[in-house]
Amino acid sequence: MVYLSDIEIFNLRNKGEFKIEPFEPKLVRSICVELRLGNRFTTIMSSSTNYIDPIAGLAEEYITTQKLSTVEVLDSGSYIISPGEYVIGITKEKITMPKTHYGSLFGRASMGRLGLQVFCSGGFVDPAFSGYLTLEIFNASKVPIMLRAGMPIAKLTVEELKVVPTVLRPSLTDYERAAEVTLAKADEVEDETA
């Protein structure tokens, strides 16, 4: 694992191969790019399903019967996440990876120390991906935490591949087209179990 340095990240961006929109140079750190929280949040309010069993095929039923609440706050607004609450958010930045590189997403340690856990399941940003990153956010603390649109929320490292993959995304997926929170689809839950 060899992360690109800040100089290499700037060079890749200047060549137009790696895009971050909107781009602010101060967000590029020694070996990563800080990503900020977007302004859309989705939470699962309730479901008629008592449990989730993705292997048995109940994922489709669960995904289609959940009652969701999506909140869009102002660009300078905030969302209060309660203790034990799980929300899905997105990054403010749209990322475009070159086909010769991939990214790894990490939550910020300073947020983790407050009890705010930030995930991107799988943690990888595939070569040739273009879109907003979906963030899974959980408040593990005992007090509410204010999530502010635009606050630094995660770090993206970039790594070069030795060889361009033979299988790249042939076209934009629903995840990549979306500029909003995207939930899992049942067929993708099944694909990950293979």
Do residues 87 and 81 lie in contact, with contact meaning Cβ atoms separated by under 8 Å? yes
- For residue 23, with 0-12 CB atoms within 10 Å meaning exposed, 13-18 middle and 19 or more buried, which class applies? exposed
14 φ, ψ to 5°? -65, -30
Three-state secondary structure along 89-144? Answer: EEEEEEEECCCCEEEEEEECHHHHCCCEEEECCCCEECCCCEEEEEEEEEECCCCC
- What are the catalytic residues? 136
Nearest in space to 140 (alpha carbons), one of 86, 69, 102, 181: 86
Q: Does residue 33 sit in helix, strand or coil?
A: strand
Cis bond upstream, residue 22 (ω within 30): yes
Per DSSP, 3 falls in state B
